[in-house]
Amino acid sequence: MAKKKTTKSMTSYRFRLYPTAEQAELIERTLDATCWFYNQLLTIQKQRYIEDPDVRVSRNDFTNLVSPYRQANPKLKKIDSTALDVVCENLVRAYDNFFGKRSKFPKFHKRKFTNSYTAAGRIKDGKSSIHFSQTGNRFQIRLPKLKFVTIKGSRLPSNPVKQATITHESTGHYYVSVQVERTKENQNVSLHPVSKRTDNAEIKLTGKSVGIDINIPHLDFSDDHAIVKLETLEKTSEAKHLLLWERRLAHRRALAKEKQAQLEHASRQKMGIDSDWHWWQSKRYQEAKQHVARLRATQAHRRDLFFQRLTTQLIQEYDVIVVEDLTVTKMLKAHRYAKHISEISPNRFITMLEYKAQWHAGKQVIRVDPKNTTQACHNCGFIMGTDGTRALTISDREWTCPKCHVHHNRDKNAAKNILQRGLATLN
């Protein structure tokens, strides 16, 4: 079990960011650079590990590399150096977890999946280099290198900001999550609508562990935590509207293409030249396209809000959360269930859990090998599909183990296997 540590209690707030085009470009360059830098350090460390597996790396070993790397690489020179320090910290943590047998050897990061970076605030005389400002109704946050970026907010945290994580969501929206120390002054203050329900609650150690089977469209838990049904996310009026407008979009696209073909034909016959009207110029098609884009963004936002709240609740409730290290195959399988639900990315859910766990000492998220989590009996370890038995299919919601005769709910059994595997890596 996790050791009890006394730490300063932290709390976090999340705001929508509105960077200018220039600031957005710098954010992208920072994402490129932090991802690249992480992989560089990992390459060096991998080599070191091969040469001498017992050498432990300290935080300083890494941070000492920041400055020479910045001098040698123009792309690192122009970006926030605190973001590179945080990259070092993350890698040290990854190594500590590996040496502490809590996780596998760190993996290379893929730029495609890197959508956030963290900047550290330098705190001096109770003031942080990352801070807020308000002019009338306009709220801004000062971030390293980016300077003042407009945010959407109503009230701002007054305590010094320790860290800020800048995220570029797949919807194209930007967000910043800031971490501040919890004090008497801010413990009952609710700030942003996104944060007020859960992010303001105190994070305590609970001694509880859980395994979660991510079965888009639902999440199953190894204990008696209620199943989280994601279908409800898709049953909103926007979702219905979206379906309707998507159908209209397809129909109008087809009509417009037909019209283009007719115009081309007529124009060639009359004048012997091509028509210059293109199907995508159709007003009705454009109208449908805009509706679809807007409804999709609303849906994405709703989904994001839901996962933000859910992940904070889970971090509050459990100290150790075990999930499957999901492979592409499993995600592809999820697509079969429902076209729209497939937009819920299990990896994003896991990443969200992971970064929130990092904010609080004693909380951790473990990824385990997903192999046979569904087919194995958690009671005796028998694997369905072996010894002449039939492997479970997606329609087998419940089953009885042929060896120990325990009756299982398929997904709960999987969640229990996931938990067992995760806890095994802790010993």
424 lies in the site for Zn ion, by CB under 5 A: no
d(CA 297, CA 236): 14
Judged by beta carbon, residue 4 or residue 397, the one nearer Zn ion is: 397
Task: Choose the binding region for Zn ion from 246-254, 300-308, 332-340, 380-388 (rule: CB under 5 A).
Answer: 380-388
Nearest approach in angstroms of CB 333 to Zn ion is 25
Nearest approach in angstroms of CB 395 to Zn ion is 20
* Alpha carbon separation from 59 to 64, 74, 83 (Å, rounded): 9, 24, 14
Helices vs strands, H then E, count in the chain: 9, 16
- Alpha helix segments (H runs only) across 73-198: 74-77, 81-99
d(CA 355, CA 350): 9
Judged by beta carbon, residue 241 or residue 403, the one nearer Zn ion is: 403
* Alpha carbon separation from 264 to 45, 61, 255 (Å, rounded): 62, 68, 14
420 lies in the site for Zn ion, by CB under 5 A: no
Give the one residue of 334, 401, 414, 419 binding Zn ion; rule: CB under 5 A: 401
Nearest approach in angstroms of CB 416 to Zn ion is 12
Judged by beta carbon, residue 156 or residue 376, the one nearer Zn ion is: 376
Cβ atoms 417, 211 nearer than 8 A: yes
Nearest approach in angstroms of CB 381 to Zn ion is 7
33 lies in the site for Zn ion, by CB under 5 A: no
Q: Among candidates 352, 410, 330, 332, which has minimal Cα distance to 378?
A: 410
* Alpha carbon separation from 246 to 258, 280, 344 (Å, rounded): 18, 15, 18
* Alpha carbon separation from 142 to 11, 84, 119, 150, 355 (Å, rounded): 19, 18, 11, 9, 22
Judged by beta carbon, residue 52 or residue 387, the one nearer Zn ion is: 387
d(CA 375, CA 224): 21
Q: How many CB atoms lie within 10 A of CB 115?
A: 16
377 lies in the site for Zn ion, by CB under 5 A: yes
Give the one residue of 63, 379, 389, 420 binding Zn ion; rule: CB under 5 A: 379
Give the one residue of 1, 380, 394, 424 binding Zn ion; rule: CB under 5 A: 380
Phi-psi region of 192 (alpha: psi -120 to 50; beta: other; left: phi over 0): beta
Q: How many CB atoms lie within 10 A of CB 310?
A: 17
Judged by beta carbon, residue 380 or residue 394, the one nearer Zn ion is: 380
Two tokens, residue 60? 């300083």
Nearest approach in angstroms of CB 415 to Zn ion is 16
Judged by beta carbon, residue 356 or residue 416, the one nearer Zn ion is: 416
Phi-psi region of 272 (alpha: psi -120 to 50; beta: other; left: phi over 0): left
Task: Choose the binding region for Zn ion from 110-118, 131-139, 394-402, 414-422 (rule: CB under 5 A).
Answer: 394-402
Task: Choose the binding region for Zn ion from 27-35, 73-81, 151-159, 379-387 (rule: CB under 5 A).
Answer: 379-387
Nearest approach in angstroms of CB 404 to Zn ion is 3
382 lies in the site for Zn ion, by CB under 5 A: yes
Nearest approach in angstroms of CB 211 to Zn ion is 17
Judged by beta carbon, residue 337 or residue 382, the one nearer Zn ion is: 382
Judged by beta carbon, residue 100 or residue 381, the one nearer Zn ion is: 381
Give the one residue of 111, 404, 407, 424 binding Zn ion; rule: CB under 5 A: 404
Task: Choose the binding region for Zn ion from 44-52, 211-219, 370-378, 389-397 (rule: CB under 5 A).
Answer: 370-378
Phi-psi region of 270 (alpha: psi -120 to 50; beta: other; left: phi over 0): alpha
Judged by beta carbon, residue 303 or residue 412, the one nearer Zn ion is: 412
The residues binding Zn ion (CB under 5 A) are 377, 379-380, 382, 401, 403-404
